[in-house]
Structure 1
């Protein structure tokens, strides 16, 4: 499918989803600080239940820069990532990192389609380059694709030029396969710094983190993942899961269980959008 056809079809789909305006609209996303580092495991192992704390983020300066391929829209340079959705109603956002992976991403897309739900996928460029058809499907079905760097490095250990390359190359692949440049990015491991925020803004992207970490990357069991989501469910939360980076069969099974329960509980599972009036 040609890029302009993808773009047109996606805009038609998005227009009918009732998604929430975000970031550029005042009050739609809020910043929250937390105490636990991203991806931390509860004391006593994954089966020990613990409060769902948001992650802490390191802010360290780096150096170097090269211009983006295309001139992006102007974006505010933030000093911390956006962590939750604010506004009226019982609204939640589901996000999936590290893909797309043909072993697990299609099953996740199938479940979302079965319940007419949209989600966010923060993709790695090297994965997206090999599975462009999955990004095209995400566009067709109205999902939002974000930038999760090219190779999932720890950004705080890279030079400014390296960070730019990781982000810009991924944005280029997303644009080619998805039909639009990404408007959101997420730092691997939740490790942010001032350079990442600035370069993300210069590439036209807002930084989005999460409120609820399912810890699915530790393979803690399907029931544990379901409990993390259901215990953390609240208006405005952003849920972190993964559709690649290892065996994600537990993540697939957990989504099939908790998604209908969230909807039956009155939650509106949607995606944030940036509105440029």
Structure 2
């Protein structure tokens, strides 16, 4: 009887030890397993253009059609608005290329020893590839500005956003094989976490701006002399070290922009190095 009780006790103890071992193993497996990271850019914001308060997580992975930028200081919302330079100002021009204005901007930049970033729209690239080649040949930086300047692109699904950006990159690369496309700028600045996530996954830094010349707002500042004076005043009063400046070389009547930059570029050059995005 005693032997039976001892055998039973040993069996119970062995079973208990076995179960404890299984529980410990399960617990270790559960806690050691990698936790799925929150999608880049989602923390603190929602799709549809809501503010983003924390930086996107993870590192961008390069694609075959773009090259990640380096030495870029990104603000908390994941969008580059000021480069942090104490000596440089980054000029950017959106919506081109356009044969009516892009050659004039290129001439002004060349005459002033300045560089800039051109945020290119895919359909314009497809129509005017020679201008893209000229932009690159003169040492300027390229930025993806979507295929058709779709203001609502960021509200669409990841697959649709990626297809749009890839189509635009492909058009740029068809014009200039091997070109570096380091940046993406969402039309209208209507950023969403999804758009930021996709652009970063494609190896592009999201390029915002600190100084908006409002040269797109012809309803408020009529094209021509009125726009010229407004753009000129903005450039003189708002630009500071590290500023990223938004203007346009396409997408409407840009005579005022051209006239303003003809005056402003020498003035800015006397204070800063005028460069493309880093």
TM-score, normalisation: structure 2: 0.70
Higher helix share: 2
Tell me the SS of whatever aligns to 1:239.
strand
Higher relative contact order (CA 8 A, sep 6+): 1
Distance, in Å, in 1 between the alignment partners of 2:65 and 2:90 is 28
Paired residues of 2:96 and 2:250 also in contact (CA < 8 A): yes
TM-score, normalisation: structure 1: 0.70
Q: 1:267 aligns with which of 266, 269, 272?
A: 272
Give the gaps of 5 or more residues in structure 1: 1-55, 60-66
Tell me the SS of whatever aligns to 1:98.
strand
Q: Is the alpha carbon distance of 1:232 and 1:75 closer, same or farther for their aligned partners in structure 2, counting shifts above 3 Å? A: closer
Give the gaps of 5 or more residues in structure 2: 1-48, 53-60, 222-226
Q: Note if 1:81 corresponds to 2:79.
A: yes
For residues 134-178 of structure 1, give each alpha carbon's deviation from its aligned partner in whole angstroms, at most 9, with x where no partner exists: 010011100001000001112233222221121111111112223
Paired residues of 1:138 and 1:178 also in contact (CA < 8 A): no
Tell me the SS of whatever aligns to 1:96.
strand
Cα deviation for residue 84 of structure 1 reads 0.6
Which residue is equivalent to 2:207? 208
Alignment of 1:6-17 (within 5 A): none
Alignment of 1:170-189 (within 5 A): 170-179=168-177, 180-189=179-188
Distance, in Å, in 2 between the alignment partners of 1:71 and 1:131 is 19
Q: Note if 1:92 corresponds to 2:89.
A: yes
Paired residues of 1:148 and 1:188 also in contact (CA < 8 A): yes
Q: Note if 1:238 corresponds to 2:244.
A: yes
Which residue is equivalent to 2:193? 194
Deviates more, 1:92-101 or 1:192-201: 192-201
Paired residues of 2:215 and 2:257 also in contact (CA < 8 A): yes
Aligned residue pair count: 210
Which residue is equivalent to 1:36? none
Distance, in Å, in 1 between the alignment partners of 2:239 and 2:50 is 22
RMSD: 2.5
Cα deviation for residue 228 of structure 1 reads 0.6
Alignment of 1:127-206 (within 5 A): 127-153=124-150, 154-179=152-177, 180-206=179-205
